Chains A and B, each alone.
Chain A
Amino acid sequence: MYTPSMLESMAKVSANRSHRLQEKHPRLAPAEKDSLLRAFHPDFRADTQRPVQVGPNAGDRMPHELVDLLEASSAVDPEVPLPSPSCHVDVLIIGGGGAGAAAALTAQELGARVLLVTKLRLGDANTVMAQGGIQAASKANDSPAIHYLDVFGGGGFVNKPELVQALTQDAPLCLQWLEDLGCMFSKERDGTLLSIHGGGTSRKRMHFARDYTGAEIMRTLRDELLNQKVPYIEFCPALELLLDEKGRCGGAVLQNFETGRPMVVQAQATILATGGFGRLHVSGFPTTNHYGATADGLVMAYRAGARLVAMDATQFHPTGVAHPEQMLGQLVTEKVRSIGAQLVNVEGEQFVFPLETRDAVSAAIIRECTERGRGAVTPTGQAGVWLDSPMIELIQGAGTIRRELPAMWRQYDRFGIDMTKEPILIYPTLHYQNGGIDIDEHGRSIQVPGLYVAGEAAGGIHGRNRLMGNSLLDILVFGRRAGRHAAQHAVTAEPGALSLAHVARCNREVAAAGLGQTKAPILLPDYVGRS
Chain B
Amino acid sequence: MTPSEPEVITIHIMGKAYQVPRGLTIMRALEYAGYRLLRGAGCRGGFCGACGTVYRTAGDYRLKVGLACQTVAEPGMYLTQIPFFPANRAQYRLEQLKPNLATLVRLYPELPRCVGCNSCTKVCPQELDVMDIMARAMRGDIAGVADRSFDCIMCGLCASRCPAEEVQYYVAILARRLYSRYLAPPARHLTARVREIQEGHCDAELSELAALSPAQLKQKYDARDIEV
- A binding-site residues for B, Cβ under 8 Å: 3, 5, 30, 120-121, 123-125, 128-129, 136-141, 143-146, 148-150, 152-153, 157-158, 161-162, 164-165, 168-169, 172-173, 175-176, 179-185, 187, 189-193, 197, 202-204, 209-210, 212, 214-216, 219-220, 223-224, 226-227, 229, 235, 257-258, 288, 290-292, 325-326, 330-331, 377, 379-381, 406-407, 410-411, 414-415, 524, 526-531
| Interface-centre pick from A5, A216, A227, A406 (highest chain B CB count, 10 A) | A227
| Interface-centre pick from B21, B31, B45, B220 (highest chain A CB count, 10 A) | B45
Given A202-B227, A223-B177, residue A149 in contact with residue B220 (CB < 8 A):
yes
Contact status A149-B194, CB under 8 Å: no
Contact status A527-B206, CB under 8 Å: no
Complex Cα spacing A165 to B206, Å: 7
- B221 contacts A by Cβ under 8 Å: yes
- 15 of the cross-chain contacts (CB-CB < 8 Å) are A129-B48, A139-B189, A145-B206, A148-B206, A148-B209, A150-B224, A158-B214, A164-B210, A176-B190, A182-B177, A182-B180, A215-B48, A325-B23, A411-B45, A527-B28
For chain B, what secondary structure do more than half of its interface residues adopt (helix, strand, loop), or is it mixed? loop
Query: Which B residues touch A187, using CB under 8 A?
Result: 184-185, 187
Residue interface mask B168-192, A partner, CB < 8 A = 1: 0000010011111100111111110
Query: Which A residues touch B47, using CB under 8 A?
Result: 128-129, 212, 214-215, 407
Contact status B50-A121, CB under 8 Å: yes
Query: Which A residues touch B222, using CB under 8 A?
Result: 30, 153
| Min C-beta distance of B159 to chain A, whole Å | 15
| Min C-beta distance of B76 to chain A, whole Å | 19
- B2 contacts A by Cβ under 8 Å: yes
- B38 contacts A by Cβ under 8 Å: yes
Query: Which B residues touch A326, using CB under 8 A?
Result: 23-25, 28, 72
| Interface-centre pick from A129, A162, A406 (highest chain B CB count, 10 A) | A129
Contact status A179-B205, CB under 8 Å: no
Partner of B32, one of A185, A203, A526, A531: A531
- B88 contacts A by Cβ under 8 Å: no
Contact status B184-A291, CB under 8 Å: no
- B46 contacts A by Cβ under 8 Å: yes
Contact status B190-A175, CB under 8 Å: yes
Query: Which A residues touch B220, using CB under 8 A?
Result: 149
Select from chain B the residue with minimum beta-carbon distance to A147. B206
Partner of B209, one of A5, A149, A227: A149
Q: How large is the interface on B (under 10, 10 to 19, 20 to 34, 35 or more residues)?
A: 35 or more
Contact status B186-A227, CB under 8 Å: no
Contact status A226-B43, CB under 8 Å: no
Contact status B70-A411, CB under 8 Å: yes
Contact status A527-B180, CB under 8 Å: no
Complex Cα spacing A202 to B188, Å: 22
Complex Cα spacing A99 to B1, Å: 44
Nearest 4 CB-CB pairings of A with B: A182-B177, A191-B185, A124-B42, A153-B221
Given A143-B202, A212-B150, residue A184 in contact with residue B179 (CB < 8 A):
yes
Other A-B pairs, 15, CB within 8 Å; known A124-B42, A149-B209: A5-B1, A123-B42, A145-B206, A153-B221, A162-B210, A169-B197, A179-B187, A182-B180, A202-B224, A202-B227, A229-B91, A411-B45, A524-B36, A529-B32, A531-B21
Query: Which A residues touch B224, using CB under 8 A?
Result: 146, 149-150, 153, 202
Partner of B197, one of A144, A153, A184, A288: A144
The A/B interface has a contact count, at CB < 8 Å, of 241
Contact status A528-B34, CB under 8 Å: yes
| Interface-centre pick from A153, A169, A172 (highest chain B CB count, 10 A) | A172
Contact status B32-A379, CB under 8 Å: no
Complex Cα spacing A3 to B4, Å: 13
Query: Which B residues touch A157, using CB under 8 A?
Result: 214, 217-218, 221
- B225 contacts A by Cβ under 8 Å: yes
Complex Cα spacing A290 to B45, Å: 8
Partner of B177, one of A146, A181, A215, A291: A181
Complex Cα spacing A215 to B25, Å: 22
Partner of B89, one of A180, A226, A379: A226
Partner of B91, one of A30, A226, A414: A226
Query: Which A residues touch B127, using CB under 8 A?
Result: 410
Would you list which residues of chain B between 199 and 228 have a CB under 8 Å from chain A? 202-203, 205-211, 214, 217-218, 220-222, 224-227
Given A169-B206, A531-B21, residue A192 in contact with residue B189 (CB < 8 A):
yes
- B154 contacts A by Cβ under 8 Å: yes
Given A145-B202, A185-B187, A326-B72, residue A219 in contact with residue B151 (CB < 8 A):
no
Query: Which A residues touch B184, using CB under 8 A?
Result: 184, 187, 191
Complex Cα spacing A332 to B201, Å: 38
Query: Which A residues touch B42, using CB under 8 A?
Result: 120-121, 123-125, 128, 290-292
Contact status B177-A120, CB under 8 Å: no
Complex Cα spacing A204 to B228, Å: 8
| Min C-beta distance of A455 to chain B, whole Å | 16
Select from chain A the residue with minimum beta-carbon distance to B212. A161
Query: Which A residues touch B214, using CB under 8 A?
Result: 157-158
- B94 contacts A by Cβ under 8 Å: yes
Residue interface mask B1-27, A partner, CB < 8 A = 1: 111101000000000000011011100
Select from chain A the residue with minimum beta-carbon distance to B151. A406
- B39 contacts A by Cβ under 8 Å: yes
- B61 contacts A by Cβ under 8 Å: no
| Min C-beta distance of A408 to chain B, whole Å | 10
| Min C-beta distance of B109 to chain A, whole Å | 18
Query: Which B residues touch A145, using CB under 8 A?
Result: 202, 205-206, 208-209
Complex Cα spacing A379 to B23, Å: 12
Residue interface mask B73-95, A partner, CB < 8 A = 1: 00000000000000001011110
Contact status B206-A184, CB under 8 Å: no
- B41 contacts A by Cβ under 8 Å: yes
Contact status A192-B187, CB under 8 Å: yes
Partner of A531, one of B6, B39, B48: B6
Query: Which B residues touch A524, using CB under 8 A?
Result: 36-38
Query: Which B residues touch A204, using CB under 8 A?
Result: 227
- B193 contacts A by Cβ under 8 Å: yes
Contact status B94-A227, CB under 8 Å: yes
- B118 contacts A by Cβ under 8 Å: no
Contact status A124-B48, CB under 8 Å: yes
Given A146-B224, A202-B226, A227-B94, residue A257 in contact with residue B181 (CB < 8 A):
no
Complex Cα spacing A214 to B153, Å: 11
Complex Cα spacing A87 to B31, Å: 36
Complex Cα spacing A288 to B46, Å: 11
Contact status B185-A182, CB under 8 Å: no
Query: Which A residues touch B48, using CB under 8 A?
Result: 121, 123-125, 128-129, 215, 290
Given A152-B217, A530-B32, residue A141 in contact with residue B186 (CB < 8 A):
no
